[in-house]
Structure 1
């Protein structure tokens, strides 16, 4: 067992009185100080003297700038000051979060489903805000989520997690239990969907009391965890009070292939909101600058408590123990550059037009949203672009029928209805010409329902298409041997099945 290292000496900081050690890190220690003016307690993160090479200094400065840029968000730790101590060590003065963080709680407490959802939505808001600013976190885990004095989760540790800039380094660090498969390979690559995975893995830990692929009482070496993350199905949380819809949300957010996940942190947050509505608990707002607030509670009028006022739930304060925390530390990794994008218009997947059909695409007006364009052999191909949704569909499957285009207005805010179900009774039948016709049933049809479907490929993710009927045809040219497709229901407000239905035919 590795011996616990001794903490570094707290530096003398002008206008600050050292109180005690808060935690040990791989590259920095965190101390509690009492600031003289304005009078308050603050957390001071001090770089270790032995780790001050040029790269670490650069990343430390980056952390200060990124957290200052994002710290207006209520679920991101606020940075007050950055400077160099008299002994030459760089330091950050940050908001002191006095309550136990998630790393201290998830192993020792049974966290209620409603609280886990509330934390997940607030963190999704923080992560989405970072992504819109062009910043990937890349190390979301319980140890990097503190708790403010008012009980809000507060994301921290952006320094070694992500930066913007042209000099992204090739090295990558990770916290294996919460890392997606694409960050565990020999040549790690990741994007916003990698943060979506880690955020969902963190919520899973809050519910299960363990990391997602940890075997209680079993062998859990780093090599074994990596193998399970890359190949094993996500196990159930083991809690009877976790609804199936929440398990499905977590499974989608933690899919092995990034294309199978929610396309953004905001989309994951909306999926959590739908589960809240299903459970009839108050729907937690997404704290985004352009996000409309949901109703205060997702309850029907006939619910017994529908018109009763709820009191404030008091949480007994937990006295700080002063014990340093240094588990789940992160190895050094370089920077990742991401391009800021306009926020996605809805929780649905991002679609791309294959190169072979680009010349058949009809563009929709520019603006926010997604464009659905292109008709090839009766398949409607979708392109990720701005604008209202334009649906091009062939009439009655005729090969020479001209496409018709209809436009939908921008989607309204997500509803607080229950989770969108998956299609049922999916079955395929091979036709005399070699094509395969698939049919399915919508178990809860609603006005405006459409369906996203695609042919499953052995070597990659399907190219998804949008149709308005419960029947599709896979042309003979694409239907040699076994043919498998996946189908999801898409509501008029852009909500969709949290998990697609898959079916095959010989």
Structure 2
């Protein structure tokens, strides 16, 4: 073990625990501290690059230390441009766990808000799509963060936002507490004082984006609580307010409020669906979107953007028709609805699906787990396309319409996401998840009632194209 240099003590503020002596690394100084760890800056001697080393303040026994090393290796496998790179991990001679991270010289989003003020809308949306992509990759690998906040979003040397601290600090072994931060935690985490799931992470990411626009976490911004107890009471019992900024559009406010819904079932289904909603706002405002960066996921919602344009009035309204031509008009309307709406489901309907029956996600799992179902994967590891339902049809029965369909490739755990399509081309408010292959819905006003249905696999993959059908009176 190399000797500490004389400069180590000079760079360590009073009251800071001594930084560990690590072979091949030279201590430079303190970066920051949290409730469970300190972060030090070191220089890697072989490469002369700076790294950040997070050192826990508690001591692990030999069993917990071995588990920490194994799980740190797994965390290092989560390679994504928007996840801070893990270079290594271990346990010091006195039992403190440490993790070696990529050094982010620009600091955190929290630092930037404090020194430069709130973020512009376009950059917030850009960061949101990038971070939601990284979050989805982690969730797909059965890993939840549990403590997303502005101080855990760091800006790398390339100017890219990156999520830090994916739960491999010491508190992961103390199941009495998850180490969450109340300003950013959803009600279900605060109520249980326990670990959250992927929808809890979506809430915390939305709270972080909210703070980028407002300068503070949602309930600190709105209610100015003076104590943690007051803050918790606000989170548990009061609504999230809109952001008082004229340049923050209503469409973005609505996306954030949905992701911040107090009931997890009313949030976005997955982080990638949250990203899709943010992309839709980008397209509406700027005509372009930040790509979703996850293997196997389409980067852009091109077809959904076309459908959104149609719903906003790009498609001409049909003129009044003579009564004797009504059957032809109905048929034409049905064709237009199907042509426009057949592309919107993956990016617009799914974010609003009811989550009843979803299960939680473990914080860190066995490194051998890959988070995908083996039955739907090709031998080379690529994910096969989920088919669309077939034989979808509906029939009126008084004031209701019953739709039925078939699954061409049933798998264990399959469910069905369905939505009634209204006359504007949007059915997102009605989206539901069910287990059966039929549904009875109230008849829509007008001459037809239309729905869309997709198959949703147990691993949350869904039909690439939904089945659509209209029942005509």
Aligned counterpart, 2:388: 388
Deviations 1:270-309 (A, max 9, x none): 100011111115411111001223389x999xxxxxxxxx
Contact 1:139 1:161 in 2 (8 A): no
- The residue correspondences of 1:362-373 to structure 2 (distance < 5 A) are none
Which range moves more in the overlay, 234-243 or 167-176?
Answer: 167-176
Aligned length: 363
Name the CA distance, whole Å, in 1 between partners of 2:238 and 2:114.
Answer: 23
* Of 220, 224, 231, the match for 2:226: 220
* Of 132, 140, 143, the match for 1:124: 132
Aligned counterpart, 1:37: 46
Name the CA distance, whole Å, in 2 between partners of 1:221 and 1:495.
Answer: 49
1:98 paired with 2:72, answer no
1:453 paired with 2:430, answer yes
Deviations 1:392-451 (A, max 9, x none): 55411259998554889xxxxxxxxxxxxx99xxxxxxxxxxxxxxxx964x34xxx656
Deviations 1:375-394 (A, max 9, x none): xxxxxxxxxxx642457554
Using the TM superposition, give the Cα deviation of residue 188 of structure 1 relative to its aligned residue in structure 2, in angstroms: 3.9
Name the CA distance, whole Å, in 2 between partners of 1:89 and 1:46.
Answer: 7
SS at match of 1:395: strand
Aligned counterpart, 1:280: 286
Cα separation, partners in 2 of 1:283 and 1:229, compared to 1, 3 Å: same
Contact 1:64 1:159 in 2 (8 A): no
Using the TM superposition, give the Cα deviation of residue 65 of structure 1 relative to its aligned residue in structure 2, in angstroms: 2.7
Cα separation, partners in 2 of 1:113 and 1:353, compared to 1, 3 Å: closer
Which range moves more in the overlay, 271-280 or 221-230?
Answer: 221-230
Deviations 1:189-237 (A, max 9, x none): 6321111111111100101001100156843321121122122111111
* Of 61, 80, 83, the match for 1:73: 80
Aligned counterpart, 1:253: 259
- The residue correspondences of 1:336-355 to structure 2 (distance < 5 A) are 347-350=350-353
Cα separation, partners in 2 of 1:404 and 1:111, compared to 1, 3 Å: closer
1:397 paired with 2:397, answer yes
SS at match of 2:396: helix
Name the CA distance, whole Å, in 1 between partners of 2:210 and 2:194.
Answer: 23
Contact 1:451 1:490 in 2 (8 A): no
Name the CA distance, whole Å, in 2 between partners of 1:186 and 1:402.
Answer: 40
SS at match of 2:98: strand
Name the CA distance, whole Å, in 1 between partners of 2:197 and 2:128.
Answer: 19
Which range moves more in the overlay, 150-159 or 395-404?
Answer: 395-404
| Unmatched tracts of structure 2, length 5 or more | 1-12, 307-344, 358-374, 378-385, 409-418, 433-437, 455-462, 467-473
Name the CA distance, whole Å, in 1 between partners of 2:195 and 2:243.
Answer: 28
SS at match of 1:184: helix
Contact 1:452 1:466 in 2 (8 A): no
Name the CA distance, whole Å, in 2 between partners of 1:41 and 1:115.
Answer: 27
Cα separation, partners in 2 of 1:208 and 1:466, compared to 1, 3 Å: farther
1:194 paired with 2:197, answer no
Aligned counterpart, 2:414: none
Aligned counterpart, 1:172: 178
SS at match of 2:51: strand
SS at match of 1:284: coil
Aligned counterpart, 1:319: none
- Considering fraction of residues, name the structure with more helix: 2
Cα separation, partners in 2 of 1:130 and 1:247, compared to 1, 3 Å: same
Name the CA distance, whole Å, in 1 between partners of 2:427 and 2:126.
Answer: 30
Contact 1:46 1:91 in 2 (8 A): yes
1:113 paired with 2:121, answer yes
* Of 11, 16, 32, the match for 1:23: 32
Q: What TM-score do the two structures reach when normalised by structure 1? A: 0.61
SS at match of 1:236: coil
- The residue correspondences of 1:123-142 to structure 2 (distance < 5 A) are 123-142=131-150
Deviations 1:357-380 (A, max 9, x none): xxxxxxxxx979xxxxxxxxxxxx
| Unmatched tracts of structure 1, length 5 or more | 301-343, 355-365, 369-385, 409-421, 424-439, 456-463, 473-487, 497-506
Contact 2:346 2:465 in 1 (8 A): no
1:14 paired with 2:20, answer no
Name the CA distance, whole Å, in 2 between partners of 1:85 and 1:99.
Answer: 28
SS at match of 1:291: coil
Cα separation, partners in 2 of 1:120 and 1:56, compared to 1, 3 Å: farther
Name the CA distance, whole Å, in 2 between partners of 1:161 and 1:281.
Answer: 41
- The residue correspondences of 1:149-164 to structure 2 (distance < 5 A) are 149-159=157-167
Q: What TM-score do the two structures reach when normalised by structure 2? A: 0.65
Name the CA distance, whole Å, in 1 between partners of 2:401 and 2:167.
Answer: 56
Name the CA distance, whole Å, in 1 between partners of 2:391 and 2:233.
Answer: 42
Using the TM superposition, give the Cα deviation of residue 494 of structure 1 relative to its aligned residue in structure 2, in angstroms: 9.1
